[in-house]
Amino acid sequence: MRPGSTDEVSRVLAECHATGQPVVLFGGLTGLVRGSVAGEHEIALSLERMHRIESIDPVGRTMTVEAGVAVQRIQEEAEKHGLLYPVDFGARGSAHIGGSAATNAGGNGVIRYGMTRDSVLGLEAVLADGTVIPALNRMIKNNAAYDVKQLFIGSEGTLGVITRLVLRLRESPRSTQSALVACPTFAAVSRFLKHIDGSLGGSLSAFELMWNEFYRMVTTPPSKGTPPLPQTHDYYVAGRKHRRRPDAGPGAIRGSHCRRNRGGTRRRRRSVFVRGPAGGVVGAARRRRGDLPLGMPVAFDVSLPLAEMEGYVTDVVERLEREWPVYRRFVFGHLGDGNLHIIAAGPPSAEARHGIERCVYEPLAARGDPSRPSMASASRSNHGSTCAAARRKLALMQKLKQALDPKGILNPGRVLPG
């Protein structure tokens, strides 16, 4: 179904609700966890025809859009008014803003601007029974009763269909500076983050960490990059900061831990370039597997506290090395928000996929409290903790699902067990 308006979404859902017809939501189809694959008895509801940018308010710095607008179009429209829509990730060109909100996407700028949740001021959603919920708030602070939009952000379409959004825009930075820094140990990376975050205040907008294998991949043919720094270090940090003044040639992120970026514009481009493929490699590998020497990629999106990151990655990499030595392993992450991407790539095999999933998830589940494991939702049910705390939390989620979608027609089996 390809509804062209909120009203049509409402009519489709009312009909599906009446007949108990399961519905799978389609946004830009850039997700990697197989959330948007319609099963045999499911119909797909695509918002691709709802792609209007409705209005922009340059004074209040808001934009009102339909859910099917691509993230990149929103960024470009904001730019025309000297403004910035700050949520940015590799799939920007095709990912829909509705899907970005439904999955609460993060990306490159989280350390400065937060997740999609932090850029959504208001939204309109349609409940499973077709009821339209208008919550098109335009203000940063609005504490009038419950902030119901929070229900729909991050719940991956299981509680309602997001149809329109009011986005928060920011003033564009005058210019940006980037630096690529090699670090000998994880402890040095961690100290560097603390140092640079304190000294740059709010202007640090990215702090991306590449483990050696990943850095080598994106700076070795057939990747287009050449290595701006030798490929022999254990860790590489790509940092970006906003500048107050227009770009005026050479500049550096200051800091005693930091190898100065002396090359000015040319060096800056090269270091930004290094990061470019990092954001896009997952999507690129998925869509055009032939382009990269990856074979079947199994991609993970994992969050954990900084203090546990080094040990966790070491465990996973050692285990993958031992159990699936044929598969290449790549690790990179948005360190500012504790978000890691792990990719294993090699010959296609369902057995390998499941084995690799165990290698990634089991060390995660072993670390800390049962309410914490953050993993790709498609595989979560395989690893559900059985302890009482997790059960109570799941029961609360099911209560919410029951209250909003009593027949369970929206994205059944996604996020929550079917």
Q: Is the Cβ of residue 293 or residue 384 nearer to its own copies in the bound state?
A: 384
For residues 387, 393, 399, 400, the Cα torsion angle rounded to the nearest 10 degrees is: -150
| Tokens (6 digits) for 41 | 């008895």
Least distance between its own copies and beta carbon 223 (Å): 27
Choose among 131, 102, 109, 182: nearest CA to 9.
Answer: 131
Among 5, 75, 203, 349, binds its own copies (CB under 8 A): 203
Least distance between its own copies and beta carbon 241 (Å): 9
Q: Does 178 bind its own copies (CB under 8 A)?
A: no
Among 29, 296, 317, 397, binds its own copies (CB under 8 A): 397
Among 2, 53, 173, 296, binds its own copies (CB under 8 A): 173
Q: What are the phi and psi torsion angles at 21 (to 5°)?
A: -80, 120
Q: Distance (Å, rounded) from C-alpha 88 to C-alpha 32?
A: 17
Q: Is the Cβ of residue 349 or residue 374 nearer to its own copies in the bound state?
A: 374
Among 15, 76, 79, 171, binds its own copies (CB under 8 A): 171
Q: Is the Cβ of residue 49 or residue 174 nearer to its own copies in the bound state?
A: 174
Q: Does 247 bind its own copies (CB under 8 A)?
A: no
Q: Is the Cβ of residue 94 or residue 385 nearer to its own copies in the bound state?
A: 385
Among 106, 277, 283, 297, binds its own copies (CB under 8 A): 106
Residues between 290 and 349 that touch its own copies (CB under 8 A): 301, 303-307, 334, 336-339
Least distance between its own copies and beta carbon 292 (Å): 26
Among 34, 49, 353, 392, binds its own copies (CB under 8 A): 392
CA distances from 145 to 135, 160, 400 (A): 12, 19, 18
Q: Is the Cβ of residue 94 or residue 303 nearer to its own copies in the bound state?
A: 303
Q: Does 57 bind its own copies (CB under 8 A)?
A: yes
Residues between 31 and 50 that touch its own copies (CB under 8 A): none
Under 8 Å between Cβ of 197 and 204: yes
Residues between 118 and 137 that touch its own copies (CB under 8 A): 118, 127, 131-137
Least distance between its own copies and beta carbon 60 (Å): 5
Among 2, 73, 243, 259, binds its own copies (CB under 8 A): 243
Specify the amino acid at residue 126: V
- CA triplet 200, 203, 207: central angle to 5 degrees? 80
| Tokens (6 digits) for 115 | 């997740």
